[in-house]
Amino acid sequence: MANTSGVAQIGVMAAGTLNAAPTGVVLMGLASNQSFTTEDAMVTKIERDDYEIAHQKLLTFSADTLQPSLYAFMTLLSYRGGNCDVQAILENGMVYKFLAATNPIGITPVLYLDDESRTIKVKLKASFPVAVWQAMELAAASAAAINLGTPQSGRDSAKIRKSSPLFTQSPSTAEMFSNYSKRTVEISPAVKGTCHPGAKQSWNIDLYDRMQVNGVFQTEDATKQLLYNQEAKGMFPELWLKDANAGSYFDLLKFEAGCLQQKVKLDNNDTKAVLTATYKARVPIEKITLGVGAANGDSVDGTGVDGGTLTFAAL
């Protein structure tokens, strides 16, 4: 019988809760580009014989979740450095469990939005001594999955965030352009290295304490006045991006003045006049705060499921 390929579920939660009462659970749910890979790591080469002796196995789980609430993004960020428990279930029934106390796995979430989608691109990565990994593989073949939600996969169409921009303002009182040919924002970990946490059996866990913000906004309806207006906003202008969720709920990204650096480029050629404004910075995670509740685009229960506001303070 052919093996069933694919990843059925990836669940990330607070450290020390998987085998007790799972807390702070984030399920990838409806997701694209889900994958699980293993490869040799920490290799010693024997040049004469063209041998490569692997001391560890590097494994990576990846998924682009289409259920990318700002609450989920900030929760995943709080789990950085292996500070989480993880359960990953393959379609063939293998159940992998990574416990922060013994065999943690690192996480790098990327918040991404463009004209076609809104996602959180999640990567879970660590390497383990070969003997440890073989024992984990053996355990995964017979492990029982912990129930992390209804349904178990976490797939919930009501939580999908579709591309639905309401405004792109810079400063917060003025729409940047009257029309856009491109609107892209990516907020990703600025990885500065990897670590082996203490006496635990995990290596190659990504370390980061800042997020790289890159925004690109483009119009093909550029004029001399539009170029002047954009440049007049200064080097570090305010930037707000608001996207609609279900009903009257919304997600709002607020970059305070003094946070992102703006650069402006005009390309006026034989066929079109394109104005591109880029906004970027490497922002300390401690300067990023989440607001929930009705005043921030969320429901009155303040769970962050329906909406939220992410604020990036000035540097």
Rounded-to-integer distance, Cα 100 and Cα 57, Å: 18
Which tokens hold the place of 41? 């790591």
Note the pTM of the prediction, 2 decimals.
Answer: 0.96
Rounded-to-integer distance, Cα 119 and Cα 65, Å: 6
> Across the 315 residues of the chain, what is the mean pLDDT of every consecutive 10-residue run?
82 98 96 97 97 97 98 98 97 97 98 96 98 97 93 89 96 95 98 93 97 98 94 98 97 99 95 96 99 97 96 98
Question: Considering only CA atoms, which of 117, 136, 97 is closest in space to residue 12?
Answer: 97
The answer to whether the CB of 27 falls within 8 A of the CB of 148 is yes
Tell me how far the alpha carbon of residue 280 is from its chain's centroid: 17
The upper half-sphere exposure of residue 271, i.e. CA atoms within 13 Å in the direction of its Cβ, equals 0
Calculate ∠ Cα 99-105-106, nearest 5°: 140
Beta bridge partners of 190: none
Calculate ∠ Cα 172-175-178, nearest 5°: 175
At residue 151, the pLDDT reads 82
The residues, ordered by sequence, that sit 6+ positions from 299 with a Cβ below 8 Å of its Cβ are 249, 293, 305, 306, 307
The upper half-sphere exposure of residue 62, i.e. CA atoms within 13 Å in the direction of its Cβ, equals 9
Is there a cis peptide before residue 109, judged by omega within 30 degrees of 0? no
**What residue ranges in 15-73 does DSSP mark as E strands?**
26-27, 31-46, 51-65
At residue 2, the pLDDT reads 58
